[in-house]
Chain A
Amino acid sequence: MRMPPAFPKDRAPGRYTPGWGTGMRQSAALAGSLLLNLLLLAGVVAAMRGPDLLAPGVRSALVTIAITAQPKEASSPLAPPEPATVRQTAAPTPPAAEEHPAPVLLVEPGPAPVLVPAAKAPASAAEPQPAATALPPALRPAPLLPAEDASARIDAYRQQLWQRILAARPRAASGTGTVTIRFRIDRSGALVSAQVIGPSGQFLLDRMALQAVRRAAPFPAPPAAMGEAELTFTVPVAFHR
């Protein structure tokens, strides 16, 4: 069908003989593809050995979380608010890091500080809705009942945690969607594990949301009043235009 170039027999071959030029071209192509294949191979190896390439502890903890999730569930009902209150009174002087975000919170509108963790439900049930809603921000640093103080401190800590993730959020992305990340910290505030529990269906968004949490770590040490079960958090990251 297609006619290849037909050279007259008598024409002398020019400088660009197949031996030289084609050889160079092919070796260049070969070098390029070799380089790429090596990199691809490295990628595959990296994937197989994923844990080693991640930050120390991060990946191995990914397994841990599944294990800790179970005891946590069991321990929650067994360890009601009491221990928290006790621990709170045991450490009456709040860490400086904790005091700092409180004023930041005050300038923010909205009722953010009123978040009451589930574990506290029985305690706050004693002093229900009115206390929570009527709590003016200006009153928060003022002395409160020990239980109130502890819960306010925990709220403040969560707010602080969230602020750090917000600050580490991805800057640019293509696509829209929401990714939910679950992560766990230890008593020192270090990240123990982080994983995607609510994927967006888009690889890059999932990974970028996960990285935001990883970059935000380490966090300040949580208040002693926080129970073990409360050291696991979930945060949705919503990408929109």
Chain B
Amino acid sequence: MYTHTCALRAALLVTSTLFTACLFTSGAYAQDTGTALPTVDVETSGEVTAGNPLAATSLSTDELKASNPASTDTAKVLTSVPGVSVNSGGGFSSMPTIRGLSEQRIKILVDGQPIDAACPNDMNSPLSYTMPQTLSSVSVIPGVAPVSMGGDNIGGVIAVSGPEPRFSTDGSLLLTGDASAFYRSNGDGFGGAVTLTAAGTNLSATYTGSYTQSDNYKGGNSLGTVRSTEYAKTDHALALAWQNAGGLWEIKGGYHFSPYEGFANQWMDMTSNTSWFVQGRYRGVFNWGNVDLSASYRDTDHEMNFLADKLPGDMPMNTQVHTFTSAAKFELPLSKRDTVKLGLEYHHQWLNDYWPPVAGSMMMGPNTFVNINQAHRNRIGAYAEWQAQWSDTLSSVVGVRYDRVEMNTGDVQPYGTSMMQMADAMAANAFNAIDRNRNDNNWNGSAIVTWAPADTVSIELGYAHKTRSPNIYERYTWGRGSMASRMIGWFGDGNGYVGNVNLKPERADTVSATLSVAPAPGLSFKVSPYYTHVDDYIDAVYVQDLLTPMGMPTDFVQLQFANLDAEFYGVDVSGEAVLAGTRENGTLVRASLAWVHGENLTGQLPLYHQMPLNAKLGVTYHAGALELGGELEWVDRKDRVDSRRNEPETASYALVNLSAAYTLAGWRLSVEAENLFDKGYYLPLGGVSLGDYKATGVLRPVPGMGRSINLGLSTKF
């Protein structure tokens, strides 16, 4: 039986007053519709609910749209979640890292679909196909995420999606949407986004579109322009949905094009990225359970070369990827207490990566350099998960999941076989001589218990064993020449990487706890300590120092992907307090802190790119149409660095951001001063500034953005 808890009592309190209201309204109403009962309130957040872990953080549409009117990088928006930081990439391609784990260690789902990397530098990360302004939900679930949320990851799940289909409620044509535009003074960035929905009772169509571009931004104080940080891109999608008593059918297609995106910390820039997709989904709710069937296809053409800052030079590199994903998921309520989730997923990735010869080049010719020849990575996954709602104050989720990953790739070839190309020529021969077929059988499990011993306290304990297989580049890149290997890698360190066909999947065991306390209305506090041990963590080992073609030493080394043992531990803390008024109309203070320690256990060394201790303190004031905000962001110095990669140390810094917004006649105008004091600082996870290095010969970490005055204008209709 259900015990009466705070939430239930609150619901009753509210609704019992409605009972009286019904008394007066039911008179005429009851004649044709029956006796009106009071409203049943469903709290969709803040309750102890199986399958809704406390460790998960969701950002609402309003938070997304209001707090970042001038943001073009969805990953950067996620850094408002404690424990999430970003490895810098291009202007819209940062890679999120959760509790020290990043890249493919995190499963990123866009509208429920995974998007595979189509670049040896991970330039087109899944979130690069999204704009924060056109998303309507974002959730971040760290390492102990229930297995039903996705396999083939060890670091958690980030799920973002566009608007859910909306239908007319009264039979008339529903026309709704929003539009926004912004300008950023630093880099002369601007952009706009539109969401438009037209719907009847059963049919709904939603268009989302956006465009954004920016020049190179300037670092703070005297750090000057950061080269290779310009970008432009556009995304368009059309979603159709049809609902009837049998379910909800959706079909969505979209197109993405980026003509250029500079990468400050890569040797190459993106000179074209074209991607289109189509996906279908069916969802049904029946007495015996819920059904969710989906299929999607995506085709991506990616091209790299040098943008203006890295000229002179020419080195075309092309990547083509096709992916097909399908999933069948079932949610079966067995009793009021128990729900079972079953699912089957299939994911197919096909990848071709080749570098056409450069006319007149001794190094890059006479043949095409075949980096990856029609590799595939197929994954079939199945899971079973049991969710139990023991009472209003106790819930549990236990699941197991199996993923089989099958990979293979074709023969490769170097640019040529001259003396200067010997390293690659020999490596190609060796690569072509071995069997490259690899199959992994990966087991995953996750158990989460959430308990609220009192109205004001909730505790969650989680354990998970998660496995991820190597990606295509980790297993199948082979070039050992200096230049060829420096084209591989998403670390932003300028070093060369060589693939390793014998890599094993990485297996992580994570324990984590979350304590959530709300001692008084408007006051809440959350602490999440965690520990992760990774067997066969895919890192790299030193191979050799890289030399110039003349045999002179450089600042860079060559490494090869390798399995190591690693561990991560740390804590995320966040809290908020309403100082005056309410959360929506008053003064709110928020604070958060994150600390992570990542250790390479095999080498007894710090792991690469681990975010130093960082904290944020923000105040927002809402009074009717007026919103004011101030934020202080502090990041400690990074002195734990991976010496094998020549990872630079970075100094501590503090940034101040101020913002103001006013809503008038449905239009919201916002002004924001980012990095108000124009503080010059280096990004701890920014890598080294290769765009600057190529132009100046001086190697420095990538500087963060200096002061920027941002203007935003948005409206809803």
> Could you tell me which A residues sit within 8 Å of B by CB distance?
2-8, 11, 13-16, 21-22, 24-25, 28-29, 31-33, 35-37, 39-40, 43-44, 46-48, 50, 53-55, 58-59, 69, 73, 76, 108-112, 114-119, 121, 158, 161-162, 165-176, 178, 182-184, 197-204, 207-212, 214-215, 229-241
Contact = CB atoms under 8 A, between A and B. Distances in A.
Contacts of A16: 373-374, 408-411, 436
B244 interface: yes
Contacts of B241: 203
A110 B245 contact: no
B165 A203 contact: yes
B502 interface: no
A22 B378 CA distance: 12
A55 B171 CA distance: 28
Interface in B32-77: 32-47, 49-52, 60
A49 B436 CA distance: 49
A18 B316 CA distance: 26
Given A5-B373, A176-B44, A115 B346 contact: no
B657 interface: no
Interface stretch (B19-27, B530-538, B635-643, B678-686): B19-27
A43 B199 CA distance: 23
* Chain A to chain B: the 5 pairs with minimum beta-carbon distance, closest first: A47-B246, A110-B16, A232-B34, A207-B285, A14-B411
Given A25-B376, A203-B243, A165 B37 contact: yes
A85 to B, nearest CB: 18
Nearest to B38: A162
The range of chain B's interface size is 35 or more
Contact of A233 (B36, B49, B344): B36
A212 B368 CA distance: 62
Given A16-B408, A46-B284, A241-B45, A5 B30 contact: no
Given A111-B16, A115-B22, A240-B43, A14 B432 contact: yes
A161 B34 CA distance: 14
Contacts of A170: 42
Given A36-B326, A121-B27, A199-B201, 6 more contacts: A3-B356, A37-B295, A115-B20, A117-B26, A176-B44, A211-B287
Contacts of B168: 201
B284 A43 contact: yes
Contacts of B293: 36, 39-40, 43
B49 A171 contact: yes
Contacts of B165: 202-203
Contact of B354 (A5, A37, A158, A201): A5
B284 A2 contact: no
B287 A54 contact: yes
Contacts of B243: 203
Given A28-B348, A172-B49, A214 B30 contact: no
A110 B17 contact: yes
B370 interface: yes
A236 B40 contact: yes
B171 to A, nearest CB: 10
Interface in B390-429: 406, 408-411, 413
B142 to A, nearest CB: 18
A53 B286 contact: yes
Contacts of B437: 15
Contacts of A198: 169
Contacts of B17: 110
Contact of A35 (B280, B326, B348): B326
A183 B50 CA distance: 28
B601 to A, nearest CB: 36
B57 to A, nearest CB: 14
B31 A239 contact: no
Contacts of A208: 285
B169 A201 contact: yes
B367 A76 contact: no
Contact of B37 (A167, A184, A234): A234
B278 interface: no
Interface in B182-232: 199, 201
B167 A203 contact: yes
A198 B201 CA distance: 11
Given A40-B293, A43-B291, A240 B41 contact: yes
A33 B436 CA distance: 26
Contacts of B356: 3
Contacts of B49: 171-172
A110 B23 CA distance: 13
Interface string B648-665: 000000000000000000
B619 interface: no
Interface centre among B26, B27, B30, B241 (most CB of A within 10 A): B30
A160 to B, nearest CB: 11
A231 B33 CA distance: 11
A206 B329 CA distance: 20
A118 B164 contact: no
Contact of A118 (B27, B389, B410): B27
B318 interface: yes
Contact of A47 (B247, B294, B370): B247
Contacts of B410: 14, 16, 21
Interface centre among B17, B246, B248 (most CB of A within 10 A): B246
A235 B37 contact: yes
B333 A215 contact: yes
A172 B38 contact: no
A212 B468 CA distance: 38
